[in-house]
Structure 1
Amino acid sequence: MNSVIYIGGAVYIRWGKKECPNNGTELIYRGFAGGGSYTDSGSPAEYVCLPEDPVWGDHYDDLVNRLGKIYGAEYESSFFGKNYKTNYDDVPCAVCRSVTRSSVLMIPGRNICYRGWTREYSGNLAAGDKDHASASQYVCVDQNPEAVPHGANNDNGKLFYAVEGICGSLPCPPYVNGRELSCVVCTK
Structure 2
Amino acid sequence: MRTHKRVEMRHTDSVSSHSETKSSTIMKFFIVQTIAVTVFLLTNRMVPANGGQSLADLLRSLIQDEGSAQLMQTAIVESIDGRAQSFSLNIVGCDTVSSTVRSKLSNYLEGVFPGRGITISCAAGVLSGGVTYTRWGHNACPSVSGTKMLYTGRMSGVFYNRKGGGANFLCLPNNPEYHTLNTNRPTYYSLISGTEYESPIAGSHDHNVPCAVCHATTRAAKVMIPAKTSCPPNWTREYYGYLESEGNWNDRQRTEYVCVDKAQVSLYGSHANINGAVIYHVRATCTGIQCPPYNANDVLTCTVCTN
TM-score (norm 2): 0.57
Match of 1:43 in 2: 165
Match of 1:78 in 2: 200
Structure 1 position 12 matched with structure 2 position 117: no
Q: Is the 8 A contact 1:31 1:92 kept in 2?
A: yes
Q: 1:30 is aligned with what amino acid?
A: T
Q: 1:52 is aligned with what amino acid?
A: N
**Cα distance in 2, alignment partners of residues 22 and 177 from structure 1:** 33
Q: Report the alpha carbon displacement of residue 78 of structure 1 after superposing the two structures with TM.
A: 2.6
Match of 1:28 in 2: 150
Q: Of residues 289, 294, 298 in structure 2, which corresponds to 1:170? A: 289
Structure 1 position 154 matched with structure 2 position 273: yes
Q: 1:68 is aligned with what amino acid?
A: S
1:38-187 map, 5 Å: 38-57=160-179, 58-60=181-183, 66-79=188-201, 81=202, 84=203, 86-131=204-249, 132-187=251-306
Q: What SS does the corresponding residue of 1:31 show, helix, strand or coil?
A: strand
**Cα distance in 2, alignment partners of residues 17 and 69 from structure 1:** 24
**Cα distance in 2, alignment partners of residues 111 and 72 from structure 1:** 27
Q: Please list every run of 5 or more consecutive structure 1 residues that lacks an aligned counterpart in the other structure.
A: none
Deviations for 1:153-174, whole angstroms, at most 9, x for unmatched residues? 1111111100011102011111
Q: Structure 1: which 4+ aligned runs deviate by more than 3 Å?
A: 63-66
Q: Is the 8 A contact 1:33 1:72 kept in 2?
A: yes
Specify which structure has the higher proportion of strand: 1
Q: What SS does the corresponding residue of 2:267 show, helix, strand or coil?
A: coil
Q: Is the 8 A contact 2:244 2:257 kept in 1?
A: yes
Q: What SS does the corresponding residue of 2:237 show, helix, strand or coil?
A: strand
Higher relative contact order (CA 8 A, sep 6+): 1
Q: 1:59 is aligned with what amino acid?
A: N
Q: Is the 8 A contact 1:17 1:92 kept in 2?
A: yes
Q: 1:129 is aligned with what amino acid?
A: G
Q: Report the alpha carbon displacement of residue 178 of structure 1 after superposing the two structures with TM.
A: 2.6
**Cα distance in 2, alignment partners of residues 142 and 187 from structure 1:** 16
**Cα distance in 2, alignment partners of residues 25 and 106 from structure 1:** 16
Deviations for 1:59-93, whole angstroms, at most 9, x for unmatched residues? 235x79641001001101232x2xx4x21000000
Q: What SS does the corresponding residue of 1:178 show, helix, strand or coil?
A: coil
Q: Please list every run of 5 or more consecutive structure 2 residues that lacks an aligned counterpart in the other structure.
A: 1-78, 80-88, 94-125
Q: Is the 8 A contact 1:15 1:33 kept in 2?
A: yes
Identity %: 36
The structure with the largest alpha-carbon Rg is 2
**Cα distance in 1, alignment partners of residues 158 and 262 from structure 2:** 24
Q: What SS does the corresponding residue of 1:50 show, helix, strand or coil?
A: strand
Structural RMSD (CA): 1.6
**Cα distance in 2, alignment partners of residues 40 and 101 from structure 1:** 38
TM-score (norm 1): 0.92
